[in-house]
Amino acid sequence: MSQNDRRTRRRGEELINAIHAAVLEEVLEVGVGRLTMEGIGRRAATARTTLYRRWPDPIAVLLDALYHAHPVEEPTPGADDLRGDLIRSLQLMVKWTLSPAGRAVAAILTDPKGIEQVSDELVEQVFAQRGGTFTSTVLRHYAERGHFPASRITPVVADIGEALVVKRLLDGAPPTDADLADIVDQAILPAIGLADRLT
């Protein structure tokens, strides 16, 4: 080892974790389209050869990192607080979306060639939740308990919260808790017929 002689040499899991972290950072900076083995290796401070021993191309590294990322937290509707639980479910969504894995998924979804490259299994595993899971879990829970008719949970209604959060994120301004409360009060609750606004 000529220069840059690091005393310790990472192996196995430790090394792989570093590479996973590196690829997630890299994709945020350059986008899916410009991921390179070079860039990943540089950021993880490892040789390209090491990467090629395990993965055939940069996308494979990225998908592997996502596969091993922490799963999405599920909203768990509590006692008797529809409004609060909706807000909390959107908070979970925001939290996940701002995490490295969440932002990487967003990068793939918005890349022209992103989704084509993803295997079907991974789509199931990682991407399935992105849909209407967050608020609709909560909505179904309260509809079953008679707080409002289940027929109100149409595909459109199930997406309102997520859609508005996505819009805010695309606009570059992650929603605050107050924004989330507004979304619940001014969009979701009216849509299910529970307009408890005081206008």
Residues that bind DNA (CB under 7 A): 1-12, 15, 36-39, 45-50, 52-54, 57-58
- Of the candidates 56, 71, 78, 131, which one interacts with its own copies according to CB under 8 A? 131
User: What gap in Å lies between CA 38 and CA 59, rounded to an integer?
Assistant: 13
Site pattern 144..163 for its own copies (x: CB under 8 A): -----x-xx-xxxx-xx-xx
Q: Least Å distance between CB 199 and its own copies?
A: 6
Record the tokens describing residue 120, joined without a space: 């079907």
**Other C-beta atoms lying within 10 Å of the C-beta of residue 84:** 15
Rounded to the nearest 5°, which phi and psi values hold at 171?
-75, -5
Exposure of 149 in the CB half-sphere (CA atoms within 13 A): 5
User: What gap in Å lies between CA 75 and CA 91, rounded to an integer?
Assistant: 9
Local structure of residue 175 (DSSP, 8 states): P
Q: Least Å distance between CB 2 and its own copies?
A: 34
Q: Least Å distance between CB 4 and its own copies?
A: 29
Residues of the shown chain interacting with its own copies in the complex, contacts defined by CB under 8 A: 28-34, 106-107, 109-113, 115, 131, 149, 151-152, 154-157, 159-160, 162-164, 166-167, 170-172, 179, 182-183, 186-187, 190-191, 193, 195, 199
